[in-house]
Amino acid sequence: MSYLKHLLIISAAISLAALFLFPTTANSIPFVVFHGISDSCRNRGVTHFITVLSNWSGSEGYCIEIGNGVWDSWTMPFMQQTAIACEKVKQMSELSDGYNIIGLSQGNLVGRGVVELCDGGPPVRNLISLAGPHAGIAAVPLCGSGLVCILVDFLIELAIYGNYVQEHLAPASYIKIPTDLDQYKKGCKFLPKINNEIHKNSTYKKRFSSLDNLVLIMFENDVILVPKETSWFGYFPDGSWETILPANETTLYTEDWIGLKALDEAGKVKYVNVSGGHLDISYDEMEKYVLPYLVENTTALRLSDFEHEGKTLIKLYDSH
């Protein structure tokens, strides 16, 4: 008995010493990334971004591709993109106990579509949004001179809210011209739906407001999103280009169409402003504003343990 007692005392002492000498591992759950327009899961910026965050958090990160990447990011309707994403997350057993979503620009709308529209999908804990066009955009993102951009220019010349353009130009699904709201509500196929602008769907609101955290990162020098404040759900007032309303002055917020106000009042919305251009985020900013929402036990997370290139930017947007 004496030997056993001494053994138990020694074992307890070793366990206590381990708690003080070695930091507790920060628990984490998987995360998925939905990339932006003109991008693909194979591109170096996206793969590096995921690798860095996976290494830091200890969680598995996945990029979910919709169709063939670049081409379909421009041409596939958003309801179809969301349906594909929904089926993919449901098929991933790794996500069954919950996961986080990181949205990059346009990919945020796919992510929100999964949160709000995906019946039977695994639970989403946190939505971390980098430059998301949540309240819409008033201009098509810069494209370039490639074949896909020639098609985009042709479609833009047609009626932006007409059926043909809505079915063949993905950004048309979230273009919101503040002085053409009647046509927007009649013709725009995706943004009015997930923002509960026309038919108020209580299920969409319930699912969105069930998030543990909504992290909204706006890029101060963003010239791709017009206005950049859409990253925070800010937008032009109805019928005017004169000013930009902050999120809490929009009708979407004051009438709480999707649960944004409820989340905000519960302290679950984080409004973050970083200094770079569209999707130009530094390692320091990733560590400070993204990493904490990828781990379960943030008290065990010591940011000083991570070595990286500080203020060096990771460029996650390429207009080609």
Arithmetic mean of pLDDT over the chain: 85
Residues 6+ apart with CB under 8 A from 238: 178, 181, 251
pLDDT in tens, 269-286: 999 999 999 999 999 999
For range 13-36, the mean pLDDT: 60
Of 14-18, 191-195, 262-266, the least confident = 14-18
Distance CA 113, CA 126 (A): 14
- Residue 151 phi, psi dihedral angles, 5° rounding: -65, -40
DSSP letter at 158 equals S
Q: How many domains does the chain have?
A: 1
Q: What percent of the chain has pLDDT over 70?
A: 78
pLDDT top residue among 180 and 309:
180
Q: How confident is the model at residue 99 (pLDDT cuts 50, 70, 90)?
A: very high
Evaluate whether residue 320 is within a structural domain: no
Give a yes or no: residue 115 inside a domain: yes
In a domain, 104, yes or no: yes
Output the CA–CA distances (angstroms, integers) from residue 261 to 49, 70, 191, 197, 276, in the order listed: 30, 34, 18, 15, 27
Q: Which residue has the higher pLDDT, 53 or 27?
A: 53
Model confidence pLDDT, tens digit, residues 107-165 = 999 999 999 999 999 999 999 999 999 999 987 665 554 555 555 555 555 578 999 88
Percent of residues, the chain, with pLDDT higher than 90: 71
**From 72, 73, 134, 222, active-site residue:** 222
Task: Compute the distance between CA of residue 17 and CA of residue 9 in angstroms, rounded to an integer.
Answer: 12
Q: Are strands 313-315 and 280-282 parallel, antiparallel or unpaired?
A: antiparallel
Ramachandran quadrant class, 239 (left: phi over 0; alpha: psi -120 to 50; beta: rest):
left
Q: Catalytic annotation on 105?
A: yes
Catalytic residue among 35, 40, 278, 280: 278
Q: Give, rounded to a whole angstrom, the gap between the first and last alpha carbons of the chain.
A: 75
Contact criterion met (CB below 8 Å) for 286 and 231: no
Q: 67 in a domain, yes or no?
A: yes
Q: Which residues contact 296 (CB under 8 A, 6 or more apart)?
A: 26, 27, 28, 29
Domain for residue 97, yes or no? Answer: yes
Residue 197 in 3-state DSSP?
A: coil
Is residue 262 in a domain? yes
Average pLDDT over residues 295-305: 56
Q: What is the domain extent for residue 6? A: 2-315
Q: Identify the three-state secondary structure at position 18.
A: helix
What is the model's pTM? Answer: 0.85
Cα separation, 65 vs 45, whole angstroms: 15
- Choice among 40, 57, 105, 129 that is catalytic: 105
Residue 3: per-residue pLDDT: 40
**CB-based contacts of 30: which residues, under 8 Å, 6+ apart?**
59, 60, 61, 62, 94, 95, 99, 100
Find the CATH number of the domain harbouring 61: 3.40.50.1820
Q: What is the pLDDT of residue 160?
A: 87
Clarify whether 278 is annotated catalytic.
yes
